[in-house]
Homo-oligomer: A and B are copies of this chain.
Amino acid sequence: MSALELIDTEYSGNAWKVRLLAGLVGVPLARRTVSIVDGDLEQPWFREVNPFLQVPVLRTREGTWLAESMAILWYLGAGSAYVPDDAAAQARTLQWLSFEQTLHMHNFAQPRLWVHLRKTMSLDDPKVGEWQKNGYVALGMMEAWLAAQPYFGGEHPTVADVALYPYTAMAGEGGYQLTEYPRVQAWLKRIESLPGYQPLLQKDTQ
């Protein structure tokens, strides 16, 4: 068995999901931080590690490399309450993991990247308007769901909450206002009060 090692980048919301879950379930992770700007993801060694050319990627206990944040969350959460046991609860958790990847993340990650981090786009760019339009639809779906249960998997936090947390928490960096989504705001606070919660690592705090 080799040690768990996470390859990530600074500021990556997808990598934050993994560090957050590791903190919540108390699993130690070795970390190696690479730079997208410096071209690390195009190096031959990284192509061997992850042919999808993305971070995060995890070296598992079996010594193989695992890509895709939802797969990494499932692996690290296995055996804890963050990955439910029964098929119906697992499927509900996967519904929200898939929602995050297909209807949610992009609309928050893109304006944050171009407006807040790279500063090559302004908030009044039509592309930002399109992302925000779809992002607010996603927030509306989350608000409606949280009317009936405190977490996306039901009564207890699961990997679905961990996956949805980072980009929702950073929505303001893409110009979003959460004032009309009080249940989403309360859910963010519930996640932040869980024992083992981890904040985003910025470059200067690593």
Contacts and interface: CB of A to CB of B under 8 A. Distances in A.
Contact of A71 (B51, B62, B95, B141): B95
Interface residues of A toward B: which range? 20 to 34
A75 B89 CA distance: 9
A70 interface: yes
Contact of A51 (B64, B66, B72, B141): B141
Q: How many copies of this kind of chain does the complex include? A: 2
Q: Is the interface of A mostly helix, strand, loop or mixed?
A: helix
Contacts of A88: 60-62, 64, 75
A67 B51 contact: no
Nearest to A106: B102
Nearest to A105: B102
A197 B82 CA distance: 34
A64 B62 CA distance: 37
Contact of A87 (B79, B91, B144): B79
27 contacts: A51-B144, A52-B141, A60-B88, A60-B91, A62-B88, A64-B88, A66-B91, A66-B95, A67-B95, A67-B99, A68-B98, A68-B102, A69-B98, A70-B94, A70-B97, A71-B92, A71-B95, A72-B91, A74-B87, A74-B91, A74-B94, A75-B87, A75-B88, A75-B91, A78-B90, A79-B87, A98-B101
